[in-house]
Amino acid sequence: MLNISEITILDKVDQKKYRSFQRTSLARANRMFKRWLLVTLGIFVIMLFLPWTQNIQSKGKVTTLLPDQRPQTIHATIGGRVEKWFVREGQMVKAGDTIVFLSEIKTEYFDPNLVGRTGSQVAAVEGSMGSYSGKVAALEDQIVAMRQELKFKNEQLRNKVRQGQLKITSDSIELARAKIDLETAQNQYLRAKEMYDKGLIPLTTFEQRNLKVQETAAKKIGAENKWLISRNELDNARLELSTVLNEYANKVAKAESDKFSTLSDRFDAENKLNKLKVEQENYRRRSGFYYITAPQDCYITQAVVAGVGETVKEGAPVVTIMPAGAKLAVEMYVKPIDLPLVSLGNRVNFIFDGWPALVFSGWPGLTFGTFEGKVVAIDNNIGADATYRILIAPDEAVKPWPMALRPGGGAQCVALLNDVPLWYELWRQLNGFPPDFYKNGFLPSEKEKTPKK
């Protein structure tokens, strides 16, 4: 019986009396399997509505939070020869402790008293600068004295010129009077001659008039000569004044030229002094670079230059160190499609290499053995492997990270994003969509979904 018809007689027939019913009926195991399938399907449907935490998984590595706490290499500031090591690999050293001693290899620095000899040169140049300063002061005093002397000489010669002008004035007045006397004598002589010709006066009177004319003519010539001499003396005084002014101007100019030449020599000496001081300080600083010291509290990781007697070039690596007490962090690398989903303060779970863990990426509350951190930095430039670097620091409010962690160790990172139903996450994975934009732990609001015009 196939029980195809909707009308059944099973309720009217005693099936236990007939063996055929027993052989054609469903087995109990089959009924159990059917029930199990229905229960499983119901559980699966219920699980589809369970909350699921979206996440971004990526590989990472342990590093340090601050750049000065990351592994670094100490380089030789100067070239030299390794003479002695003061540390061994793996040793803890304090800041300022000596790591290695280098000896000089350049011939220009072989002199052990190089700093002292340079100091002697500095002292000699300083002495020459003092001499130049004294010479400049003496020339300035000489210039002041010459200008003062020129002032007095100028007043003296100007007085002489004024005296000559007054003398010329006096002589010109005397000459004018002599001319008037001569003209008067000549008029008297002419009248006396006329009267003598008429016989009105004797010869002696006429001769006296003639003698008077000659005397006044002689006086006029003398006055004229005296006036010419005074005028020549005035010209000579003016010429002397001009000559003295030019002479003292030349002397002052020469003294000032010597002064500026001395100042130039002093500036050259000062320039040389500064160069010597720079060289002296460089020699002093160079002598301090023979000892390579620890820049901070650190562990000696590896000696790049092995042994004693090996030559180190300037700027070459000597030893690598790991700073002590470094604050650890994790570098996580995400793809460009996931970068907009990560923001500062997001939670990130880690599975460190060497620490067992049981991970349920969608249910972080059920995860066991993981460690948490917060995003503190996001790179703005993409790396060579087409990923962006994200720096995650420990979260002080949760379980601390293992003390045995070391920079360079591996880590599996799980960045937690939004809480969504499980069916939505399955649908998103099947369609290959990226996780929803995460902001403050919630999905975007309707206003944020609406594009702005």
Domain boundary among 264, 288, 312: 288
Please give the average per-residue pLDDT across 43-49, as a whole number: 79
pLDDT over 70 percentage in the chain: 83
Top pLDDT among 348 and 19 is at 348
Predicted pLDDT of residue 453 = 46
Domain residues for 2?
1-47
Residues 362 and 313 in one domain: no
Half-sphere exposure of 98 (CA within 13 A, CB side): 11
Residue-wise pLDDT tens digits, 74-123: 999 888 999 999 999 889 999 989 999 998 888 888 888 888 888 888 88
Burial of 269 (0-12, 13-18, 19+ CB in 10 A): buried
Please give the average per-residue pLDDT across 254-276, as a whole number: 88
Domain boundary among 266, 288, 310: 288
Six token digits for residue 93: 């050293």
Answer whether residue 278 shows pLDDT above 80: yes
Whether residue 437 lies inside any domain: the answer is: yes
Whether residue 247 lies inside any domain: the answer is: yes
Predicted pLDDT of residue 204 = 78
If one counts the domains in the chain, the total is 4
Whether residue 109 lies inside any domain: the answer is: no
Six token digits for residue 67: 């750049």
Top pLDDT among 12 and 230 is at 230
Residues 145 and 78 in one domain: no
Which residue, 119, 111, 138, 88, is CA-closest to 306?
88
Residues 93 and 130 in one domain: no
Indicate which CATH number applies to the domain containing 349.
2.40.30.170
Burial of 55 (0-12, 13-18, 19+ CB in 10 A): buried
Answer whether residue 417 shows pLDDT above 80: no
Residues 296 and 312 in one domain: yes
Residues 150 and 270 in one domain: yes
Indicate which CATH number applies to the domain containing 139.
1.10.287
Whole-number mean pLDDT of the chain?
80
Indicate which CATH number applies to the domain containing 316.
2.40.50.100
Please give the average per-residue pLDDT across 33-45, as a whole number: 83
